[in-house]
Structure 1
């Protein structure tokens, strides 16, 4: 039977003020090889980078498998058996969208196994439904910079091409962070002044990210979520503050603890201490999830 190779990018979310709304695809990829079979479910997981495989299930609870089965059921396709081979390069629980990437790869695989082209609007509903928000999923699905929102129980996203001068750099610590834990640190209400501040900075960020990157330092300033989550990753919080004091547009990536720096050089200042972090440039991925027959 025909098999498919799914390549899906990592993503960074929030980008400072765009909590649960902004996402950007990054050129770090998980690769999923999938084939429908007449036999049982078989799942192989390979660590192709910093992904880690020790705590990844290899049964029907695997996130890619769940996304494939949900998508195939939605499309009216039955799978007697499935062979899945996952090469993980996106580090888990670091704020680089590993869960969203897994779901998007599974949704894309479901369309491929059904013999259908991906309907991006429909696929977004399936993928974002796993996490309840569409920022990471939309970025991995569409590529580029995305603005995501929900309305009437449906998820939506608009894709933008980031300014060519923007060169993201990530600082990835060895420690992990759980989204559920960091969300629990957020208060049920915030001061009106902070909400107004973030509304203005989020609007400015769209302009800075697409047309005027020299405004990124101001545009990535956040008062809505990062300082509430600071106790969960003090080293990341300190690095963000240090970079911003040096004029670098830095923020916590997603739920953390990875630090995202939106630079135009692809490097961080040489005298900024990054002990405990792996630092590397990750270009913006412009293509989103890709499917190829094999």
Structure 2
């Protein structure tokens, strides 16, 4: 039985990584952890000095005084559209590009030069209104006002969490349901290509993944979590003492994900979706 599991694991890795011509044991481990858990943490994905530069720019956007908690008025301050040099550098490190190739496939993802939205969380007595379990919506159908998701993860290759501050369990880290990316494909399948809004899907993916163990997206400035688009996650109230600075941009696909390939040339993300549908062991 052990030999059978090892053989199956090797086949899974080979099939999920055909897009990458050269890889070693560390790459194999990254792919396997992503397939099993739905995310990987890339420690030191970009230099701490870059993270510090980004954090200074984010503080300026808030209008808050870093040294005066009395100015931290809201539990969550959203910042968007940051495309200055340090943010582009953070998104385009060699470590991240290599990981994108491993998980999404060479030439199947679009480089980022801005980091989208930043939910900056501050210690606060007021509870935030965005702490429910969910997956991210990634496209806006005509006539709709809420972002949708579908089984092929239209418009999103990965969910990424960039840390620009020290984040411990006391600093309101993102909560993650480990392995929940495998519970979501059966929820999405009945909606077909049209998909459904993140608001409609929220209670369903929360219920489907309720049995999963919990992890927290903790780390140091410069760490990045690369997450399957279907990873179920949630924010939480911040009752600590220091702000948490993080970006949560998507990695955009250069070509759509496909779940039926005649040549079997599936990316790691596609392979995981098929596994969730019980089409792969």
TM-score by length of 2: 0.28
Higher relative contact order (CA 8 A, sep 6+): 2
TM-score by length of 1: 0.27
Choose between structure 1 and 2: higher strand proportion. 1
